[in-house]
Amino acid sequence: MRFPRSCGILVHPTSFPSPFGTGDFGPGADSFFELLEQTNQSIWQVLPLTPIGYGDSPYASYSAFAGNTLLISPERLIEQGWLTHDEVYAHTVESHWKADYGMSRQLREPLFRLAYNRFKAQKGGGKKAHKRQMDAYTHANQHWLPEYALFITLAQEANFSPWTTWDAGLRKRTKTALDKARSHYDEEIDYQMWLQWVFSTQWSALKKRANDKGIRIVGDIPIFVDHNSADVWVHCKQFALDKDGHPTHVAGVPPDYFSETGQRWGNPHYRWATMAKDGYSWWVQRFAQMFHLFDAIRVDHFRGFDEYWEIPADEPTAIHGRWVKGPRHDLFETIREKLGDLPIIAEDLGLTTPTVEQLRDDFDFPGMKILQFAFDSDESNSFLPHNYPQNCVVYTGTHDNDTSVGWYDQASEEERHRMRVYTRSSGDDVAWQLIRLAMYSTADQAIIPLQDYLALPGEHRMNFPGTVGSNWKWRHTPQMLDNLDRDRMRELISLSYRGRDKGNPAVSASNPSAGK
């Protein structure tokens, strides 16, 4: 599916300012929409919105369907009448440029419990209306919601130890054990389902505000799911597990220039033949949910649908894995038959093959181009703008890359020299030089991490792959947005014909250097 010539910004909601430790769907999101609107941009790209797991990573989740309830805005709950202004702001923290997930949980959980109790205690028409809305949501999400609510309740009781360590009845999902757990934890299960309804309600309202302003939202779907997740626990026959529920083979990538032992991610592999027998129903439901939440989605590790690196689970590294054919065209043809057009961006970075490219092109999915990868070889480098096909999305970098300033600081002198020659610059203002390349390129879409518009150094990167501890924490402060040169952004976007109103661009007298 082709997209119009356009541009936007990559920033996750946890990166918005808020007084609750991490960003959310509250007023910080509206300030960001104002930035997009004022600079004539039409795309907002986010990371996965699913519950965060190990290392606070949105790519290690307890569910492929549920939402991260830390993104629920306590301030929006005032509007529902479930919390008061004084209750919400009684305990807050300064909106720092680093997220504090522990503090976020500590501040939000008591407010959510209080709001839930108020929801249950409502009387009259308001109670009936809210109950109808929650009942409708529960019915529409029956294929995952009740089991997720049970799973997360049991996981909390087990201090999030793997489900393979639970009592045998729960581990093997016997009817007796499940019925007993549902009865015993009835109140907590209902609370978890309520949280998911509130998440959905707030996100739907946020998406409507964005769409009403002409902003399309691009989501992110990881190819694999975490072993310690509701999906694997419930659908264990569709994953490569042994009789005790442990993975027999796990995901990763083979050794390469960057790692002599490869990467062992540890996610269980799918039993694709089993999934094909029921028409890939889990995948159809997953993509249907994503297309409901977003206007388009980036599919992470797209090449894994063509072939994937299968590592025996008892191997400590990825060295002794092997390539195995994936579902290829069959999966996407099935999804398209069920859901219609597929507004997908294929993350096709890293090692690719002709069959991966054929799969991408046969469905007209745009691939990705990263400018930070463009200067480590000669003019044939596929990441240099003069080599781009039109049907692609160009980024200065992604959440897995350094900021552009940080990249330049760490780059070899050869790379720096090639970049300076290509951009006809001295190397000053490097972030804006790369932004300019992205905007003027032939790529249909250009998406820039917010850190690069702010020209921030490497300590502000979102993720450093292969590490844990300091990732997923970056946030922008209100002052950072206030200091953005919006005139420069708007004029560059206009000159590159990427604005929503693609009229005749003109450099304003107040800032004639915008397009330089």
Question: What value does the mean pLDDT take over residues 349-366?
Answer: 96
Q: Which of 208, 200, 213, 95 is nearest to 139 (CA)?
A: 200
Structural domain total, the chain: 1
Phi and psi angles of residue 91, each rounded to the nearest 5 degrees, phi first: -135, 105
Q: Which of 141, 76, 83, 134 is nearest to 110 (CA)?
A: 83
For residues 436 and 452, what is the distance between their CA atoms, to the nearest angstrom?
11
Q: Decide if pLDDT at 123 tops 90.
A: no
Q: Which of 157, 307, 400, 485 is catalytic?
A: 400
- pLDDT tens profile 81-116: 999 999 999 999 998 899 999 999 999 999 999 999
Q: What is the model's pLDDT at position 128?
A: 86
> What is the rounded average pLDDT for all residues in the chain?
95
Residue 255 maps to a domain: yes
Residue 348 maps to a domain: yes
Residue 180 maps to a domain: no
- pLDDT tens profile 184-240: 999 999 999 999 999 999 999 999 999 999 999 999 999 999 999 999 999 999 999
| Residues of the domain holding 479 | 6-140+201-366+444-484
Q: What is the model's pLDDT at position 506?
A: 44
Phi and psi angles of residue 96, each rounded to the nearest 5 degrees, phi first: -85, 165
Residue 398 maps to a domain: no
Q: Which of 347, 348, 402, 415 is catalytic?
A: 347
* Residue 376 is among the residues annotated as catalytic for this protein: no
Residue 279 maps to a domain: yes
* Residue 341 is among the residues annotated as catalytic for this protein: no
Q: What is the model's pLDDT at position 503?
A: 53
Residue 151 maps to a domain: no
Q: What is the model's pLDDT at position 513?
A: 45
Confidence of residue 445 (pLDDT cuts 50, 70, 90): very high
Residue 467: burial class (beta carbons within 10 Å; 0-12, 13-18, 19+): exposed
Question: What value does the mean pLDDT take over residues 176-187?
Answer: 98
Residue 453 maps to a domain: yes
Q: What is the model's pLDDT at position 514?
A: 44
Confidence of residue 120 (pLDDT cuts 50, 70, 90): very high
CATH of the domain at 232: 3.20.20.80
Q: Which two tokens stand for residue 162?
A: 């793997």
The number of beta carbons lying within 10 Å of the beta carbon of residue 40 is 20
Q: Which residues contact 506 (CB under 8 A, 6 or more apart)?
A: 494
- pLDDT tens profile 126-145: 778 999 999 999 999 999 99
- The beta-strand segments (E) located in 300-390 are 307-312, 322-325, 344-346, 367-370
Q: Which of 295, 300, 444, 491 is catalytic?
A: 300
Buried b or exposed e, range 338-366, using 16+ CB within 10 angstroms: eeeebbbbbbbbeebeeebeebbeebebb
- The span from the first CA to the last CA of the chain, in angstroms, equals 32
- pLDDT tens profile 281-293: 999 999 999 999 9
The sheet with strand 322-325 has its strands ordered as 263-268, 249-253, 307-312, 322-325
Residue 403 maps to a domain: no
Please say whether the beta carbons of 302 and 368 come within 8 A. Answer: no
Question: What value does the mean pLDDT take over residues 470-481?
Answer: 95
Q: What is the model's pLDDT at position 502?
A: 64
Candidate from 123-127, 299-303, 315-319, 381-385 with smallest mean pLDDT: 123-127
Q: Decide if pLDDT at 256 tops 90.
A: no
* Residue 300 is among the residues annotated as catalytic for this protein: yes
Question: What value does the mean pLDDT take over residues 364-389?
Answer: 97
270 has which bridge partners?
239
Q: Decide if pLDDT at 479 tops 50.
A: yes
